[in-house]
Amino acid sequence: MPLNGNQRIWLTGATSGIGKALAERLLEDGHRVALSARGETDLQHLAAGRDNALLLPLDVSDREAVARAGDRIAEVFGGLDLVLLNAGTCEYLDAQEFDVGLVERVFAPNFFGAVYCIEAALPLLRQARAEGSRPLLAATSSAAAYLPLPRAEAYGASKAALSHFLESLRLDLHAEGIGVSVIHPGFVKTPLTDRNDFPMPMRVGVDQAAEAILAGLSRRRLDIHFPRRFTLLLKLMGILPPALRHRLGLRLVRPGTTSESAP
C-alpha cells in the first residue's frame, strides 16, 4: 500500500535487505527520499537514474556525521514528513566467551545510531508539522524485543531498548502532532539472516516485509509486526510468568552449543 502524497523521507540502512526493498518502492512511488547507508557505491547504484533520491553516505553510529546529514536534508528538503530508521546489525553472544566489545558493536548502530538520527531528524519533523504535514517517525526494531531468547543478549537488548525508547518518545511527542511507529519484523530473508545456522520459522521475503511496513505506515500503526502468526506467538510468550517463560526459553538452547538465536 503506497504512502499518501509525495513525501519527504529519510531512510537509513537503504542498500541491503528490508531497507533496499523499501528504498526501491519509495523511489518508484515518486517520494523524495534521502538515502543513507555506509556504502556510497551501493547508494549510487540504488539511485541511478532517479532525480528524487538524495544520497547521504553515513555510518549512523557517528553522531557528528549524522548531524551533518540532518543539515544537508534541511538544506535540500526543508523538512521531513517521514523518518524511517532501518540501519542495524546482528551479532550473537556466546556466554562461555563473554565479549563486551560485541555488545558495544551491536548497540552502536541498533540503539545509539537510531538515537543520533532522531536527534538530527526532530527539527525537520517539527518543520514539516509547522507546514501542515502529519509527520511520522518510524524505526525497525525486531520481534526479538518481545521475548528474551538465547544468544540474543546484545541484539535483543538493543532492539528492546529501541522499542522502549520510541514508545516513551511517542508519549512526549503526541502534543506536537508527531507520530511514532515501531516496526517488529520476525525472520526476513536478508544478508544478515542468511548467515544464521538455525531454523527460521515463517521467514518472509524482503518484498513482503516492505509491503507490510508500508501498509502499516500508511495507517500510522503504533506497532507494525509481521508475519503476524509468528509475532503474535512471541508476544504471547513474552507475557507468560517468568518461570514458564524460562522453561520455554531453555527448549531453544541446543545441546552441545550455546543456543539458538533471534529474529
What is the C-alpha separation between 93 and 153, in angstroms, rounded? Answer: 6
Radius of gyration of the chain (CA): 18
For residue 245, the SS3 value is: helix
Burial class for 56, CB neighbours closer than 10 Å (0-12, 13-18, 19+): buried
Q: DSSP label at 146?
A: G
C-alpha 106/C-alpha 164 separation (Å) is 17
User: Per the structure block, which three cell numbers stand in for 179?
Assistant: 507520530
Q: In DSSP terms, which residues pair with 55 in a beta bridge?
A: 35
92 catalytically annotated: no
| Joined grid coordinates for residue 111 | 540503539
Active-site residue, selected from the candidate residues 92, 116, 146, 155: 155
Q: Are 138 and 183 in contact (CB under 8 A)?
A: yes
With contact defined as beta carbons under 8 Å apart, do 118 and 85 qualify? yes
- Paired residues of 9 in beta bridges: 33, 82
Please report, in angstroms and rounded to a whole number, the separation of the first and last CA atoms in the chain: 24
Q: Which residue has the cell 556525521?
A: 65
Which residue is listed with cell 547504484?
A: 45
Count of beta carbons in the 10 Å neighbourhood of residue 195: 10
The residues annotated with a catalytic role in the active site are 155
